[in-house]
Structure 1
Amino acid sequence: MDTANTKFSELGLAEPFLRATESLGYEYATPIQAQAIPLILSGSDLVGCAQTGTGKTAAFTLPMLDLLLQKLPPKPTGPRPKNQRRKGPKGSNPRPRTLRALVLAPTRELSAQIGDSLKRYGKHTPLRHALVFGGVSQVPQVRTLRHGVDVLVATPGRLLDLMGQGHIDLSKVDILVLDEADQMLDMGFLPDLKRIVAKVPEQRQTLMFSATMPPAIRKLAEEWLTEPENIQVAPVATPAERIAQSVHMVDKKKKPERLVQFLQDTPRKRTLVFSRTKHGADKIVKRLNRDGLKAAAIHGNKSQGARTRTLEQFKSQNPPILVATDIAARGLDIRDVSHIVNYDLPETPETYVHRIGRTARAGAEGTAISFCSNDERKLLRAIERLMNFRIEVDPSSDLPEPPRREIKDDSPRRGPKRKKFNPKNRRRKFKPGEKNGKPGERSSKPGGKRDQYGNRIATPSEGQGNSSRGASEGGNTGEQTATTGQRPRRPKRKPGEYNRKPKWKSGQKKRRPQPK
């Protein structure tokens, strides 16, 4: 099927969702939406991989809400109990419902974003949804869950907490969605995901979406999904073509100065600066504010209220420069972001694709600039190897362009040659009395046969005639062993077993004699 000019009306969605997309101004579906929506409506498991900013959220929220609407339980009839409260999240007479769809996201911001999409697309339906994430009080979240919801969007940590308290039951879930699955693995959520999936029924529909598809994700897909359909709109880890990428070779100590100079001389709209660490993000904000540039930071050490206020300021008409870490900015859908600045290159090449994907969203254009120091050249080569694309070096760079080999398609990666280990070349230390590794054989030392400890083995004739020899020659003096007929060797002294104590310990000054 040609997905270039596919309308939402041709995908088989119900009338309430077509009305919602029309009111939002959406007429044509993106390639990932045109391929994923019919497969999800048919009930198949799905693994979707597409570039950031291509509408992956709508690709699973629209068909998921459609399936839930088809199986919506009928509204109970009859008189309402006298003690039932009239207030509720949906109408004046809320009815308890069973949780039937679960969406897992790695960060709070992405969870809130998915919740906004569910609210926009399902505004003409009676379906209910709830958000569960950490950093805020759980009291309002538990209050919403008691009324009953159809869809739950949650982060793994807070979800397990509420499951342990008995507020959430996953035994009736029909649809399980893992959004940004690769990021959840990078953040160490794999044990939590296994505990959550174990509580979900095996007879379910599982959907997995991500912008990159590392081998760990494919392994989980084989384990948790049943005969999944694979959709790959673009090659894995491919950024949008409308992003102009460049790299500045800068000394590490001059990065703050070059960042301020770039922000002051470049005409821009919304600018997002990425830092590798939380402490580094705070230092960048202090430097920019000191030089007269309005900036704000968002990272994991900020409270949820502070992060929400910062994002609202960034979406306003007079936005500050947003300095963020990779985890906090993952999955953010903010329009009109014109410039992305990689102050620190990421240690994982796939993270670079997610960073620059914050710009050029929904058909727009954007610019991505990276600052690379001498110790980050290996990271730059790894990013270029992943994307199979050579990033242009800015001519105004402080440092010379690093030597880089030409990148070819499907070229084998060559590393340093290593010599194979040959066990014959390994030197073996023989024990005393051994020859060729066999104890008990005649040794090259004089004295006849010796045991594995090096003691000479006496013959029967030697055992009878030892009494004629003197003590100086090793004869029978009463201290001979019964087996060897000779005096046992004195064991070696271990360090620290000397009888004579040192006059002073190491590190202490020697006392001088006191004058009389």
Structure 2
Amino acid sequence: MAPSAEIVVVRAPGPLFAARRTKQLRRLAARGTKRSADVSDEGTPSKKRRKSALAAGTVTDDADELPWHEVDRAEAAGVGDFDEEGGVLMLEEVDDVEVFYDEDAGGSKVAKFKVGKRARTGELESIKHSKKSKAAKATTSPSVMTPTAPTVSTLEQPFDEYLLPEWQTFALKNQIKRSLHTLGFTKPTEIQKRALPFALQGRDIIGVAETGSGKTLAYGLPIIQHVLAKYAGIPPPEKRSLSALVLAPTRELALQVGEHLRAIVHGFDPALAKKAGEGDAKGQHKPPIISIGAIVGGMSSLKQKRVIDRGMDIMIATPGRLWDLLGEDAGLAQQIRSIRFLVLDEADRMIETGHFEELHNILALTRRTSEVDAIDEASSAAFQKAGIAVTEGQGSKSDEMQTFVFSATLSKDLQLNLKRRRRAPPSKKRDKPPSTLDELLERVDFRDEEPEIIDLTPKQGVSHTLQEAKLECISSEKDLYLYYFLLRYPGRSLVFVSAIDGIRRIVPMLELLGVKVYPLHSQLQQKQRLRNLERFKSTPDGVLVATDVAARGLDIPAVEHVIHYQIPRTADTYIHRSGRTARAEKSGFSLLLCSADEKRVQRALLQKLGRAGDPPELPIDHGVIEKLKERLALAKKIDDAQHKIKKANHEKNWLQDTADAMEIELDFDVDGDQPAEHDQKITSQIASYKAELRALLSERVVAKGIIAKYITSGPQPVANELMTSSFNDKFVGVTRSTATEDVVNLVPGKVRNKRK
């Protein structure tokens, strides 16, 4: 029998242990337990003993039942590294255990272990100490407590750096890294790799990158890092002071930025990640460690005033609504003068009509008083008119403000001028609000003498994972080819039109054809716009028909197709429309529906994009197109008839309402020459059309050359394809494929049908 010894085991884990290790770390982080194999920000390792059910004197041949406990890694001895698969080499020990060998029935030697008294005593003392600590916490805590925000130190739990190896180069706090890991952000995007090192050093940044490249976290993580350091070791005050102002051109983009930043903050404390609306037993809610608020139009201004009164750390706002509320809150302008971070997201759209004047005045609050025209005459007059207590010349009080400007486009000449610091402060004579992106950046007071410019613009203006194509047709058949594309290539699709009238015509027609379609335009109420966006995001084959209000900034996951129903007039609009797909290195497809009268616009667009030739043509199965015409004709008849009834009812109601308002009686039949029988006739006709359309929609379209009665013979047998489900769900005889595959595999100069 071997003498009593201390057993030390180094475990070289494989994939299963690495997965178990990750799960264990998450569970311990949720409980607030520190592991010796991990080091917290304070660098204080801990020791934890595993509970064992073995009594002293017990003999066992299972080493896992022994009272193991982890110890610090012995780096001097070369222990504590990582294996080839990236798993942790975990060091554990157990003492006062006798090891001896016994022979089994086959004569083989088997190692067995005998637990000594000292091993059990150490474990019991560890358990006893743990119970005393819990009892002490229970006696000192009051029976009723008002929920308070957790301090940064209570949330600063250890994090295994090797779970996110590609984020190790950035000096981010453990809470942020834990959130990134929980959200699945295993590696930074290119704009994040380039921007974060400079942002964390306090530099000003001008970032130019395609949509969907991860710009939100590129500026959001440094802001969150700063607020965490601000509250280090102390609970946040009840009324927060504003640290960062993020300006966005649209309310949808502002709300989306807020959602992304809150997702990071919720990952700090597991209690914050619970379902919204859950509180404690008393119905009270624990305030977040970082408060983030959105100030946008289309929502209750009273609620947003209350949010401002409570205070917030990060404000995401649209210029219009922020300017409105500045006149109603005397302290808000003073807070903006003292902010630590200013962000202009999608800056190239900020200067559009309706944005630049308010933006010009808000930016005046962030210019330093030492500047010649910190607040010019025009802004001073605007402040006085709005009732804002800021006089001419009184600008920002913060000399350390960081400025982040992110855009999808930025001219090379402007980049060169900014790099060489050729920007001269505009004089008092130039008090006109900026109308171009160049003028806007000239009004921004960068504290950095040389702001870092990061230009990741693709050579072609769009993502390299985007496949572009065109489809030439006459104007009257655009609806037909749109319907064909949506059936032929199912998937989440975004259709852009130039005017709201186009949405009002296309959406009812597609609804009648059984397509899950949702409208998005500026005349919808904000709640309806958000509801339609959420429905579109949750529908795999959904279709969103939108104006250019949805072309910028919105991060809609897994948009597979973008269809330009009408060709955009500018290259920027085309780039931003197409940027709704092929985001974050994913593939996407962009289709131009081009009629004969749009050829001149198309050539001008391609010239602005720097393209030498036209995009490839999308192949079309004309045999299927012919069979879809009947469906479309019926849908248009139904829509026209319904529109006539709605118009007639609207006119009758308007006439009656006008008579009631004037307190007069109509002495003639308001129905005029349209008797009730005529309306009933139209209604019955609509019902007949709908029944006929339902019958057509219930049948799958059979491609040309396919005999449905003889699937095993005929010109094109389809039995095998039907059995293997290789055909399109809507068309029999048309192979299932993606639009990108059909364009790439198309033989130049020859349109062919993709069939087996």
With structure 1 as the length reference, what TM-score do the two structures score? Answer: 0.69
Partner in structure 1 of residue 10 of structure 2: none
Matches within 5 A, 1:314-463: 314-317=536-539, 319-389=541-611, 390-394=613-617
Q: Report the structure, 1 or 2, having the larger helix content.
A: 2
Query: CA–CA distance in 1 between the matches of 2:251 and 2:609?
Result: 29
Q: 2:314: which partner in 1?
A: 151
Give distance in 1, aligned partners of 2:464 and 2:445.
Answer: 32
Amino acid at match of 1:47: I
| Structure 1 stretch displaced more, 180-189 or 23-32 | 180-189
Structure 2 vs 1, CA of residues 217 and 7 (structure 1 numbering), >3 Å: closer, same or farther? farther
- The question of whether the paired residues in 2 share the 8 Å contact of 1:349 and 1:382 is answered with no
The 1-side partners of 2:618 and 2:362 are apart by 51
Distance 1:360 1:221 in 2: 29
Task: Give the conservation status (yes or no) of the 8 Å contact 1:105–1:178.
Answer: yes
Matches within 5 A, 1:75-90: 75=234
The separation in 2 between residues aligned to 1:113 and 1:17, in whole angstroms, is 19
The aligned counterpart of 1:128 is 291
Amino acid at match of 2:522: G
Contact 1:95 1:147 in 2 (8 A): yes
* CA shift digits 1:52-110 (9 cap, x unpaired): 1111111111112112322348747xxxxxxxxxxxxx9xxx61121121000011110
Letter in 1 for 2:559: V
Rate the CA distance shift 1:48–1:357 in 2: closer, same or farther, 3 A: same
- Aligned-partner Cα distance in 2 for 1:395–1:157: 42
In structure 2, the partner of 1:195 is 361
1:122 is paired with a residue whose SS is: helix
Taking the aligned partners of 2:558 and 2:458, their CA distance within structure 1 comes to 25
Which residue number in structure 2 is paired with residue 181 of structure 1?
347
2:207 aligns with one of 48, 54, 65:
48
**Alignment check: 8 A CA contact 1:268 1:339 kept:** no
Inter-partner Cα distance in structure 2 for 1:381 and 1:128: 49
1:254 and 2:451 matched: no
CA contact (8 A) 2:461 2:575 kept: yes
Determine whether 1:228 maps to 2:451.
yes
Tell me the CA shift for residue 130 of structure 1: 0.4
Q: Deviations over 1:316-350 (max 9, x none)?
A: 14553110111234211111111111101111211
Q: CA deviation at 1:397?
A: 8.0
| Residues 73 and 96 of structure 1, relative CA distance in 2, 3 Å threshold | farther
Q: Measure, in 2, the Cα distance between the counterparts of 1:248 and 1:18.
A: 46
Q: CA deviation at 1:148?
A: 1.1
Shift of 1:272: 0.7
**Structure 1 residue runs without a partner (length 5+):** 77-89, 399-516
**In structure 2, what is the equivalent of residue 402 of structure 1?**
none
- The equivalent of 1:110 in structure 2 is 253
Q: Give the corresponding residue for 1:280.
A: 502
**Residue 30 (1) aligns with residue 189 (2):** yes
Give the letter aligned to residue 10 of structure 1: T
Larger CA Rg, structure 1 vs 2 = 1
Q: Deviations over 1:232-265 (max 9, x none)?
A: 123476211111110112222221122112222x
Structure 1 residues 237 and 158: alpha-carbon distance in aligned structure 2, compared to 1, 3 A threshold:
farther
**How far apart in 2 are the matches of 1:287 and 1:58?**
40
Compared CA separation, residues 163 and 294, structure 1 to 2 (3 A): same
* Distance verdict in 2 for CA 1:175–1:106, change over 3 Å: same
SS at match of 2:403: strand
Correspondence for 2:304 among 141, 146, 160:
141
1:211 and 1:237 in contact (8 A); partners too:
no
TM-superposed CA distance for 1:373, in Å, is 2.0
Equivalent pair of 1:173/1:201 in contact (CA under 8 Å) = no
2: CA distance, partners of 1:28 / 1:206 = 25
Conservation of the 8 A alpha-carbon contact between 1:33 and 1:59: yes
Instruction: Supply the AA of the counterpart residue of 2:249.
Output: P
Using CA pairs under 8 Å that are at least 6 residues apart, name the structure with larger relative contact order, 1 or 2: 1
Residue 364 of structure 2 corresponds to residue 205 of structure 1? no
SS of the residue corresponding to residue 315 of structure 1 reads: helix
Preserved CA contact (<8 Å) 1:9 1:18: no
Instruction: Determine the C-alpha separation between the residues in 1 that align with 2:181 and 2:261.
Output: 15
Aligned to 1:499: none
CA distance in 2, matches of 1:376, 1:184: 29
Does residue 66 of the first structure (1) align with residue 203 of the second (2)?
no
288-297 vs 274-283, greater mean Cα deviation: 288-297
For residues 207 and 261 of structure 1, do their structure 2 counterparts lie closer, same or farther at Cα, with a shift above 3 Å needed? Answer: same
TM-superposed deviation, 1:39: 0.9
Partner of 1:171: 337
* Structure 1 letter corresponding to 2:302: V
Return the offset for 1:34.
0.5
Deviates more, 1:121-130 or 1:215-224: 215-224
CA contact (8 A) 1:359 1:365 kept: yes
Q: Secondary structure at the match of 2:549?
A: coil
The CA deviation at 1:38 is 1.1
Q: Matched residues in 2 for 1:235 and 1:319: separation?
A: 29
* Deviation (angstroms), 1:164: 0.8
Q: 1:6: Cα distance to partner?
A: 8.1
**Structure 1 37/361 Cα, relative in aligned 2: closer, same or farther at 3 Å?**
same
Residue 524 of structure 2 aligns with which residue?
302
Separation of aligned partners in 1, 2:600 and 2:225: 47
Unaligned runs of at least 5 residues, structure 2: 1-163, 269-287, 369-398, 415-435, 622-756
Partner residue, 2:467:
244
What is the rounded CA distance, in whole Å, between the counterparts of 2:319 and 2:196 in structure 1? 26
Q: Which amino acid aligns with 1:115?
A: G
Deviation at 1:221, TM superposition (A): 2.3
Select between 40-49 and 380-389 the one with higher mean Cα deviation: 380-389
Counterpart of 1:252 in structure 2: which amino acid?
S
Deviates more, 1:53-62 or 1:310-319: 310-319
User: 1:141: how far off?
Assistant: 1.4
CA–CA distance in 2 between the matches of 1:166 and 1:70?
A: 28
2:667 — aligned with what? Answer: none
Instruction: Describe the shift of the 1:292–1:27 C-alpha distance in structure 2 as closer, same or farther (beyond 3 A).
Output: closer
Letter in 1 for 2:352: D
Distance verdict in 2 for CA 1:100–1:59, change over 3 Å: same
Aligned residue for 1:186, secondary structure, equals coil
Is 1:263 paired with 2:483? no
Shift of 1:395: 6.0
- 2:490–2:541 contact (8 Å) kept in structure 1: no
Shift of 1:128: 0.8
Question: Residue 386 and residue 7 in structure 1: after superposition, are their counterparts in 2 closer, same or farther (change >3 A)?
Answer: farther
Cα shift at 1:191:
1.3
SS of residue paired to 1:29: coil
Give the whole-Å Cα distance in 1 for the aligned partners of 2:218 and 2:300: 31
Q: Distance in 2 between matches of 1:66 and 1:187?
A: 35
Letter of the 1:133 partner, please give it: V
Relative distance call for 1:192 and 1:99 in structure 2 (3 A) is same
Deviations 1:202-232 (A, max 9, x none): 3322111011125632443243143311001
Q: CA deviation at 1:20?
A: 0.8
Normalised by the size of structure 2, how large is the TM-score? 0.48
Residue 160 of structure 1 contacts residue 196 of structure 1 at CA under 8 Å; is this kept in 2? yes
**8 A contact 1:245–1:391 mirrored in 2:** no
Q: 1:107 to 1:26 in 2, by over 3 A?
A: same
Distance 1:277 1:6 in 2: 48
Cα distance in 1, alignment partners of residues 482 and 346 from structure 2: 30
Q: SS of 2:227's equivalent?
A: helix
Give me the whole-angstrom Cα distance separating, in 2, the residues matched to 1:382 and 1:12.
47
Partner Cα distance (1:269, 1:396) in 2: 18
Mean CA deviation greater in 337-346 or 253-262: 253-262
C-alpha RMSD over aligned residues? 2.3
